[in-house]
Amino acid sequence: MNPVPQAPHALPHAVSLLRSARLARSAKPFLARGGPRGERCAGCRLVPSHCLCALRPVLPVRAGMCLIMADIEPLKPSNTGWLIADVVADTFAFGWARTEVDPALLALLADPQWQPYLVFPGEFVAPERVVTGLQHGTGAGHAAVRRPLFVLLDATWPEARKMFRKSPYLDQLPVLSLQSEQLSRYRLRRSQRDAHFCTSEVGALCLELAGETQAAQTLEAYLDVFTHHYLRAKQQLPVDLADAAHQRLLALANR
């Protein structure tokens, strides 16, 4: 068995903090299967024998991500919004509720350093709101260009549609409709429609659109490595650190 490298946990990111807050509100514990007595690594949510923490990428990313998460999404070990927060330093995460909105989310969307884009299929949106590319600021110098902030509804497809309809504070945002012929390779929680991407795949497509090619490719490779670790743990098989997914992530880290 190839030993899985261990590393000290990084500081908790936004999704980790949201998960902790959600657990603190729970009337009963959230039980995820796997590991001795359900034990999981706090840094990557995997069973300790298949820990991913030592493989977490570190690279500069100018774009930001804002995850608006359905109630139990932060608790799911298979949630891939966590991977976005691992890769993109400026990732913000908020829980969604129909009757209230976090003031910090409203402040983020109004922050002048960001140009928010709500990422959602254009077929469900009024045509005048839909954009397929990023807007560019005007004025002299790089500082005049606002940083893109991609707002992702992290939920199942039925939940995401409900969140979209019942979040009036999102109504003024341009809707970024991603155009891609790529079929989802996500194998953990397959959508009933193959054209639906998991959250980290959507994040990678956004990063590519923002010109962050290395970050996009790294997030894609990181998802493949996470999927390998997750499924190997579920099947009680050792991790293969020499497989193509691990080698691709390593090559991107060494660029």
Amino acid (1-letter code) at residue 252? L
Question: Within 13 Å, how many C-alpha atoms sit on residue 187's CB side?
Answer: 12
Map tokens 């939940």 to a residue.
159
Most trustworthy range by pLDDT among 27-36, 130-139, 182-191, 244-253: 244-253
For residue 4, being part of any structural domain is answered with no
For residue 176, being part of any structural domain is answered with yes
Q: Is the pLDDT of residue 143 over 90?
A: no
For residue 209, being part of any structural domain is answered with yes
pLDDT digits (tens, 9 = 90+) for 37-51: 568 898 999 999 999
Q: Which residue has the higher pLDDT, 143 or 210?
A: 210
Q: For residues 47 and 36, what is the distance between their CA atoms, to the nearest angstrom?
A: 8
Q: How far apart are the first and last CA of the chain?
A: 29
For residue 2, being part of any structural domain is answered with no
Backbone φ and ψ of 226, nearest 5°: -60, -45
For residue 109, being part of any structural domain is answered with yes
- Domain with 237 in it: 14-25+39-180+189-253
Q: Is the pLDDT of residue 240 over 90?
A: yes
Q: How many CB atoms lie within 10 A of CB 44?
A: 25
Q: Is the pLDDT of residue 55 over 80?
A: yes
For residue 77, being part of any structural domain is answered with yes
What is the number of structural domains in the chain? 1
Q: How many CB atoms lie within 10 A of CB 238?
A: 14
What is the structure's pLDDT at 11?
Answer: 74
Q: For residues 104 and 113, what is the distance between their CA atoms, to the nearest angstrom?
A: 15
Backbone φ and ψ of 80, nearest 5°: -100, -5
What is the structure's pLDDT at 36?
Answer: 45
For residue 7, being part of any structural domain is answered with no
What is the residue-averaged pLDDT of the chain? Answer: 87
For residue 6, being part of any structural domain is answered with no
Question: What is the average pLDDT across 5-30?
Answer: 74
Question: What is the average pLDDT across 167-172?
Answer: 96
Task: Give percent of the chain above pLDDT 70.
Answer: 83
Say if residues 240 and 247 touch (Cβ distance below 8 Å).
no
Q: Is the pLDDT of residue 12 over 80?
A: yes
Task: Give percent of the chain above pLDDT 90.
Answer: 69
What is the structure's pLDDT at 62?
Answer: 97
Q: Enumerate long-range contacts of 98-103, CB under 8 Å, 24 or more apart.
A: 98/162, 98/166, 101/167, 101/169
pLDDT digits (tens, 9 = 90+) for 93-113: 999 999 999 999 999 999 999
Q: Is the pLDDT of residue 199 over 70?
A: yes
Would you state the structure tokens that stand for residue 226, as one six-digit string?
Answer: 């996470």
Q: How confident is the model at residue 173 (pLDDT cuts 50, 70, 90)?
A: very high
